[in-house]
Amino acid sequence: MARQGQAPILTKTEQKAVLNTFIGTPQAIRNKVIFLLSFRAGLRAKEIATVKLSDFISPLSAKPISGKTKYKNSAIKKTITLTKDVAKGGKISKAHITDKELRRALLDYINIWDSLYNRGVDTLIITDKGTSFSPNTLQRLFLHMSRASGYSFTSHSGRRSLCSILINNDVNVFKVKSIMRHSNIATTELYYENDEVMLGDIMAKL
């Protein structure tokens, strides 16, 4: 259990269970991308709501012809730049798009993206009405997905879960800081001090 006020952490097994609940639901592909951008790339709600399609596609990849040619996995960037208007604190930062399941979901979604949006919309993630999400509406979507799945999580659970997985894989604290894009090492150290999965594993080995 997370401490009061902290977003719940989901294990990889729990994440898979949540993803399975998307199958056959409206906007299943889009919601899978949203979930994985949070849990596998550590993006915040504001960042997911604001990133553009062009942030993810290599400029060297040919634009597909609708209904004929589709993007390939190699067209999706492995590292994206979060501009000042997207990233927390107004600082340019990088996010890593290397998780295989995330990349497959992005590929599926991007190849149907043209048929989803209204003219003038260039954000990657699009509402049922073909418009952009706001950070608040995206946070509410996370809560809806949580209730529908039967698992407790919020829009910040992805970052906490990713950080927990990195910690439990003995990744150096400075590398975790870089991956999580924390501005201060003290923020990263708090995850080490309060990570319930890691602390539970330590107690289990006594």
Quick: pLDDT tens for 79-135.
Answer: 999 877 776 666 778 999 999 999 999 999 998 887 776 667 889 999 988 889 999
- Evaluate if residue 146 carries a pLDDT over 90: yes
Instruction: Specify which residues 94 forms β-bridges with.
Output: 81
Q: Are 81 and 97 in contact (CB under 8 A)?
A: no
Mean pLDDT of 25-44: 96
Residue 5, pLDDT score: 59
Give the CA count within 13 Å in the CB-facing half-sphere of 196.
Answer: 12
The whole-angstrom separation of Cα 12 and Cα 100 is 14
Instruction: Specify which residues 126 forms β-bridges with.
Output: 132
Mean pLDDT of 161-186: 89
Quick: pLDDT tens for 187-197.
Answer: 888 877 666 66
Give the whole-number percent of the chain exceeding pLDDT 90. 52
The whole-angstrom separation of Cα 188 and Cα 180 is 8
Quick: pLDDT tens for 1-27.
Answer: 444 458 899 999 999 999 999 999 989
Strands, E assignment, 73-144: 79-82, 93-96
Residue 1, pLDDT score: 40
The whole-angstrom separation of Cα 167 and Cα 197 is 9
- What are the angstrom distances between the C-alpha of 135 and each of 31, 49, 85, 189? 15, 6, 13, 27
The whole-angstrom separation of Cα 200 and Cα 141 is 31
Mean pLDDT of 127-149: 94
Reduce the DSSP state of residue 93 to 3 states and report it: strand
Q: 90: which 2 tokens?
A: 């107004």
Mean pLDDT of 33-56: 95
The whole-angstrom separation of Cα 55 and Cα 76 is 9
Residue 126: DSSP 8-state: B
Reduce the DSSP state of residue 65 to 3 states and report it: coil
